[in-house]
A and B are shown apart, each in its own frame.
Chain A
Amino acid sequence: MNTVLLTVLVLSILGLVLALVLYFVAQKFKVEEDPRIDGVQEILPGANCGGCGEAGCRAFAENCVKAESLDSLFCPVGGNETMKMVAEYLGRTIDEKAPRIAVVRCNGTCENRPRTTIYDGYVSCSVMAALYAGESECRWGCLGGGDCVAVCKFDAIKMDGVTGLPVVDEDKCTACGACVKACPKAIIELRNKGPKNRRIFVSCVNKDKGGIARKACGVACIGCGKCEKICPFDAITINNFLAYIDPDKCKLCRKCVAECPTGAIHEINFPVRLPKKEEAITVEQ
């Protein structure tokens, strides 16, 4: 019985002494931290995705508190709302930024882009890209290994089983840019989400000459320049046989979409086009 009591007593005293030591040490070596960092961190989404370019939300919060102006800092996940709250909390102002979304610029489905080889190795885009140009004749397009799906922390990108291409979920995508970094072929781009989520982009990254590109894929951009000519806002430029639409200049007039001979320019979330007048009449007759 004595042993039990003694044990309890010794341990209790030991615990008490150590607790006191720890308390005084903690007081002595206390790190002074700006309390606002905790405040900002609470406002942030806490996804720790690294989309802002920092290691995590804590590092971003520290930067927000330290920085002179908030202009160069942006949390893509929280978007304008979060940034406004952060600015309010810190008593600063911030310009609103256009919301963005990840866009997959390849439409090389099995139908559009016939497969010429079969890959039976380890399924990963980075491994495939290091080994060879890809299963089809197009050496620029999506490899379909799903590295973008694996890195997405928001479950916003999925592989389509039929087309073999990744599909971005508009509601879930936060434009953190993880998929952009993961893609070895640089197919995914962050573009403006656009008014009413409407946007136009060239769904191809093939920089080969028109003939080669067309032979490899039915819906490749062949760099013909028709879209560049028809665009009234000079938003389209052609480099290396590939058209690129500047999202800041584009006014979403959709002239280029109709002009593209291969259908490489995609429009998203637009209402269905009304048939032309003559056609409407014939339908009535």
Chain B
Amino acid sequence: MSRTFSLGGIHPHDKKISANREIGEFPLVDTAYISMSQHLGSLSEPVVAKGDRVLTGQLIAKSTGFISANIHSPYTGIIHNIEPWPDLSGNMVLHIIVKVEEDEWIKGIDLDPSVERNIKLSKEEIIKRIAECGIVGLGGAAFPTHIKLTPPPGKKADILIINGAECEPYLTSDYRLMMEKAEELLVGTKIMMKALGVEKAVIGIEENKPGAIKKLKDTARKDYSEIEIESLKKRYPQGGEKQLIDALVRRRVPSMGLPIDVGVVVQNVGTAVAVYEAVQKNKPLIDGIVTITGDCLPDQRNFRLRVGTTFEKIIDVVGGMPQEAVKVLSGGPMMGKAISKLTAATVKSTSGILFLSQEQTKRAPENNCIRCSKCVQACPMGLEPYLLNKLARASRMDDLEENMIQDCIECGCCAYTCPSCIPLLDNIRIAKASVLKIMRSRARK
């Protein structure tokens, strides 16, 4: 009997058209644009200068502050410039621009594809290595992994959850990774278990990926008895941290709390593989699996894509912009962001590029709320989106806080399900940001 989370959720169209395409290698690019803001937290600081020659995997920017991450060069080449460059939303962010020459890896990185099962490093060394290699959470938020693996004093994790839900339609990057790097994933999980000092780990996979479930179960049967593979019912937003914890171990993360408050740490499958590569092979995080998909795209692909590749280049490689495409998203259709600048480049946490046609992106005109309460039933956090929307439009911050707007995970279930096409999430997101600002300034006093 498959499990799922207890509250709300929706069932969007389950389209995984690129699921059977194997992960391909992306050709060398001419110029790489490496953002200094590839993670949650403060910007990284460049440690190279204009004109320097860097090797693939060489450190080019180091973390600043507590929540930050190192960044490494994805290619071998000359630093062309260090200047602000638009990110995908058009805002200027400091980028290191590398004129690519070749792909010569820096010494000390093990490029042998055979699986290294023996974990030699100690707990502290593992966390240090993960921080050095600039690993961030690849589930979307890009939170630096080494911080997540060091619980704050007084708190202890007793279970590690690996997120293989991939509940977004279209995206297949995690699925391909589970199919092709099953053993690496399991070793990565074991490394993180050692770092956290936990005895148990669960990998949650939605049941629309039977191939991945079977593959991991077969691989885990041999040497990884402490890792459970759990199949989940298909439901969005199952990949959300709080929902996944609810589905797998039936614990409720308190409001404004973190998973560690209930003794859980959640990591994505992509992160687990990146951790494996960092700890066992000393390979920094410079690439990730990216699904390039869309109904209007003739050739859907899964690529191992280096950080800093422009969207323009990717579109070139998959055969140019499809004629019907009117919108290009970075990420899935539910949580993804529209790309407004094709000159922008991918970052560590880019998981997919989705082309949508006019038909798919059409927005119906907004109507009055008919009080059908569909949004209330769909909200996985148990909120009342119709009420939050009304209060947000009236800027009633106190009432919004009382109605727990700060718990909103911005999954978009409410707006998806609304028959009156009210832009619920748009209004709630803006109001949530203001409420959080007020709460933070109050906490500082």
Contacts and interface: CB of A to CB of B under 8 A. Distances in A.
Interface of A: 116-118, 120-122, 124, 126-127, 130-134, 139
A83 B91 CA distance: 44
A257 to B, nearest CB: 30
**Chain A at the B interface: mostly helix, strand, loop or mixed?**
loop
A122 B426 contact: yes
Given A117-B340, A120-B363, A133-B340, A127 B91 contact: no
Contacts of A127: 423, 426-427, 429-430
B89 interface: yes
**Chain B at the A interface: mostly helix, strand, loop or mixed?**
mixed
Nearest to A124: B426
Contact-size category for B: 10 to 19
The 4 closest A-B pairs by CB, nearest first: A133-B90, A122-B423, A132-B89, A122-B426
A182 to B, nearest CB: 11
A269 to B, nearest CB: 35
Contacts of A122: 366, 423, 426-427
A130 B340 contact: no
Nearest to A122: B423
A130 B423 contact: no
B89 A131 contact: yes
17 contacts: A116-B340, A121-B363, A121-B423, A122-B366, A124-B430, A126-B430, A127-B423, A127-B429, A130-B433, A131-B89, A131-B338, A132-B338, A132-B340, A133-B86, A133-B90, A139-B86, A139-B92
Interface in B332-369: 337-338, 340, 361, 363, 366
A124 B426 CA distance: 9
Given A133-B86, A134-B90, A139-B90, A121 B340 contact: no
Contacts of B429: 127, 130
Given A120-B363, A132-B340, A133-B340, A139 B91 contact: yes
Interface in B165-213: none
Contacts of A134: 90
A88 to B, nearest CB: 36
A10 B316 CA distance: 89
Contacts of B90: 132-134, 139
A248 B361 CA distance: 50
Interface hub of A124, A127, A132, A139 (most chain B Cβ within 10 A) = A132
A43 B134 CA distance: 65
A116 B344 CA distance: 14
Contacts of B86: 133, 139
A133 B430 contact: no
Contacts of A131: 89, 337-338
